[in-house]
Copies of this chain bind each other. A is one copy, B any other.
């Protein structure tokens, strides 16, 4: 899934250069890293990228070896559930027995060996029937190390399978972005995980979930499926996108399904949802300020400074994010990093995005 529209990393990200194309960590773009991360496990022929039509060329520039037929183009950004529905149908057309791993293209993950090892366990679980006879919808839950209020939380229920290294558990409930007090309770209670947005399931399992939980969507699927790879494909998709009430897969399917399970995992992970999240992911705890690019810091701490070719000096300031993208400058209180969207909105109003 690589359809992000790039408001959270303004001014580095723009409508025509969203986060998945940025090199925020490790020198490669987010989408390149995401593909590279699974290639030891999944050949490029089996990698499918769902993105917006307007990002098609740039996506292929980042992943030039991607078979062109594996680029799944949405006419519009409609959140994750429609993207997953359409992507799943495209894959079903090729192999209705496939197991799919759903990955956001703009997250960062460490310990990639562990990550791939978990995916193999996830695949195993996706093919193992639950006590009710259904195949599960597998989510990966990140063990939280702080009371993060920006993430969704998954609460575990009973264990349904244990391997030497991993466990799979039924899901009791989802909680989207709790307040700090609630997040602290979650941490204290210890049975909650961050929803990583990474899912593993059989094509047939997720389509069955759509049938049961979103029949008003499901009724379009036969038509789309038969039109795929014909001249009618785009029209069928446009009609579908026009008729549905879009939303995230978590809310529309996973938290309403009886078949959702969670595998608790420990690899380093961040959705890099804001400049603050990037700062958090990169900060080792030793440095006073995190600098990308050339700069000078005097009597300053807690700052995240992201520059390009020009030096950035910070003096006597605390907990700021300072970004110089070459064509704009942002100075924002780190705690308010989410509000960068309001800058994008203000500039859009002024016609300057």
Contact = CB atoms under 8 A, between A and B. Distances in A.
A315 B329 contact: no
A313 B328 contact: yes
Number of copies: 2
Interface stretch (A18-26, A45-53, A240-248, A319-327): A319-327
Contacts of A331: 312-315, 317, 320, 322, 331
A332 interface: yes
A335 interface: yes
A316 B299 contact: no
Interface in A306-351: 307, 310-317, 320, 322, 324, 326-333, 335-336, 339-340, 342-343, 346-347, 350
Nearest to A347: B296
A111 interface: no
Contacts of A329: 307, 310-313, 322, 324, 329
A342 B314 CA distance: 11
Given A320-B331, A329-B324, A329-B329, A315 B298 contact: no
A320 to B, nearest CB: 7
A65 interface: no
Nearest to A346: B296
Contacts of A298: 339, 342-343, 346
A11 interface: yes
A352 interface: yes
Contacts of A350: 296
Interface string A48-65: 000000000000000000
Interface in A108-144: none
A310 B352 CA distance: 11
B332 A310 contact: no
A296 B352 CA distance: 11
A331 B342 CA distance: 21
Contact of A316 (B10, B316, B332): B332
A278 to B, nearest CB: 16
Contacts of A10: 313
A322 to B, nearest CB: 5
Closest 7 CB pairs of A and B: A316-B336, A316-B333, A315-B332, A313-B343, A312-B329, A296-B346, A313-B330
6 contacts: A299-B336, A307-B329, A311-B347, A312-B329, A316-B336, A317-B331
